Amino acid sequence: MKLYSGPLSLFSRKVEIALHEKGLAFEHILVPFTQTKGYDPRNPDVLAINPKGQVPVLVDGDLPLYDSTLILEYLEDAYPEPALYPKAPAERARCRLLDLFADEVMLAPLRFLMHRTEPRPDDMERWQAKELKAREAEPVLAGQFAELDRQLQSRDYLCGAFSAADIAVFMPVFWTRRLGGPLLRGHDALAAWYARLGKRPAFAKVIAEILAADTELSAPVEGAFRE
């Protein structure tokens, strides 16, 4: 199995965690990325497989796939143990809905914080305009944290046992902390869940790789990982 992934790609890192959780070995191809040029020039294999030109891309034997959610669902079908989705249809659907919530709903405000790892532009007005949008997005993320905290009251994981929903939702929560966004303080159940996941070897390995990539590629972010 081959995974094309980006050093600071939230969606690629999500797939990496799932592969590690399933104990699957893979050849890891990190495509070049810089804060100023993004993924340009794009990896030719990624372009050949994914019409969107995005990572992650997984190649399993002669099967090329793209899109993190679809890849996770394929991994579950092809390599069912250990399971990352509940078996019962309603719980399974709920788990997928949380994946969609993470990838689409949480990503929407999170995008407005992403300039914070880029080098500061000379034009401070441009930076301030972006920061204004970030400040508007932060209460939205804080509201999502409150909702997740509510869902995690009296349960250790989002969908019963540990599942793909935990992996998917962990990513924007981690990214929010990395980008100096709203704190987990005051959301005790969410903070405990976050700490619980961070201790799993699959998460710890990928977090360490992201932090190492940040030291090489990203500008320091004020307030990152504040408690």
Letters for 87-106 (x = contact with ligand GSH by CB under 6 A, - = none) are ----------------x---
Amino acid at 104: E
Q: Is 55 in the site for ligand GSH (CB under 6 A)?
A: yes
Q: Which residue is nearest to ligand GSH (CB)?
A: 54
Residues 6+ apart with CB under 8 A from 12: 3, 4, 5, 6, 55, 56, 68
For 63, the token pair is 């099967």
Cis before 56? omega within 30: yes
Cβ contacts of 165-168, under 8 Å, gap ≥ 24: 165/94, 165/95, 165/96, 165/98, 165/99, 165/102, 166/193, 166/197, 167/14, 167/17, 167/18, 167/21, 167/72, 167/84, 168/14, 168/69, 168/72, 168/98, 168/99, 168/102, 168/103
Contact with ligand GSH (CB under 6 A) among 9, 43, 117, 176: 9
- CA–CA distance, 212 with 227 (Å, rounded to integer): 20
Contact with ligand GSH (CB under 6 A) among 3, 4, 7, 11: 11
- Binding to ligand GSH in span 25-44, by CB under 6 A: 39
Letters for 58-87 (x = contact with ligand GSH by CB under 6 A, - = none) are ---------xxx------------------
Smallest gap from residue 53 Cβ to ligand GSH (A)? 6
The residue count for binding ligand GSH (CB under 6 A) is: 13
Query: Nearer to ligand GSH by C-beta: 124 or 217?
Result: 217
Q: Is 5 in the site for ligand GSH (CB under 6 A)?
A: no
CB 56 within 8 A of CB 122: no
- Binding to ligand GSH in span 141-180, by CB under 6 A: none
Smallest gap from residue 104 Cβ to ligand GSH (A)? 8
Query: Nearer to ligand GSH by C-beta: 50 or 191?
Result: 50
Binding site for ligand GSH (CB under 6 A): 6, 9-11, 39, 53-56, 67-69, 103
